[in-house]
Amino acid sequence: MQWWIGSGSLDLEKPVFLGILNITPDSFSDGGLHLEPTAALTQASRLLRDGADLLDLGAESTRPGASSITPESEWARLQPVLTGLKASLPKVPLSLDTRHAEVARQGLALNIAILNDITGFSDPLMLDLARQTACGLIAMRSRVVDGRLFMPEYGSEGEASAHSAIGEMKEIKDRLIEAGIDPERILLDPGFGFGTTFREDSALWKSLPDLPRALDWPAQRICIGISRKRFLAWRAGAKTLAPGQRDELTQEAHEEAKSWGYRVFRTHEVKELCGRDEKWN
């Protein structure tokens, strides 16, 4: 099984790791650490050295309570890093994490390989871009209220079932397929923590073994974005564990998901495999 990402493809029969490169001052895990282009390029090289298959760049924080930014500000952060990566590591597939069509369009002009939209290409302009290009797509489930990402109090009651979240994933899948987009270009993302409480995240995680059947969608075409999420700390009984201290829990979750057939992981740290950076040189 292949994931088509523009002019190339990735083998989905083996684990694929998207190394997260946050170019933000306020991301929940590493905000501010890689905001400057030199620091971002150093982190990119480290992720590749540690085993990342591609890089996922984002310049807008989507942590709970984060301030929104304009597409112009988002692109101002992204552009020097994107051009630097294209110059120094031209073979590395790049994923652009954005929900703004203006930013996506400029990234596509620089030949990014993947568009990663946390709002599941619900914006008609983003859907048009997805339809008009050949890039790979990651379509995440999230909840938007009055134009803003909805982030409830994580410890509140919330739903104890994954029914609503799975229904939202089905809507995303149908939206992309009905737009005529080849399924081999698409990965779906359950969106842990995006509009969900701990109870709902727990139910969603427990549903993963049966999720491909529920969606009529292969596990290999589902991207697991659980890295450093508070869900991991909460289910381990360590609610106060800082994001940067959750990498071991992240790896344990990845191994659990692999046992259910999942193969694509978006992650801050890549320690499962080492020494693969030579293929990008």
Tokens 């400057």: give the residue: 36
Which stretch of 57-71, 149-163, 195-209, 227-241 has the lowest confidence by average pLDDT?
Answer: 57-71
* Mean pLDDT, rounded, of the chain: 91
> Which of the four pLDDT bands, split at 50, 70 and 90, describes residue 229?
very high
Number of domains in the chain: 1
Mean pLDDT of 78-99: 94
Share of the chain above pLDDT 90, in %: 79
Listed in order, strand segments (DSSP E) in the chain are: 2-5, 8-11, 16-22, 54-58, 94-97, 114-117, 136-140, 144-145, 148-149, 186-189, 223-224, 264-267
Which stretch of 85-89, 147-151, 265-269 has the lowest confidence by average pLDDT?
Answer: 147-151
What is the pairing mode between strands 2-5 and 8-11? antiparallel
Name the range with the highest mean pLDDT among 23-37, 149-163, 251-265.
251-265
Long-range contacts of 240-249 (CB under 8 A, 24+ apart): 243/28, 243/29, 243/30, 244/29, 244/30, 247/271
Q: What is the pLDDT of residues 5-43, one digit of tens each?
A: 998 999 999 999 999 998 977 444 554 566 678 888 998
**Residue 88: CATH number of its domain:** 3.20.20.20
The range of the structural domain enclosing residue 231 comes to 2-280
Mean pLDDT of 177-204: 97
Which stretch of 60-69, 136-145, 163-172 has the lowest confidence by average pLDDT?
Answer: 60-69
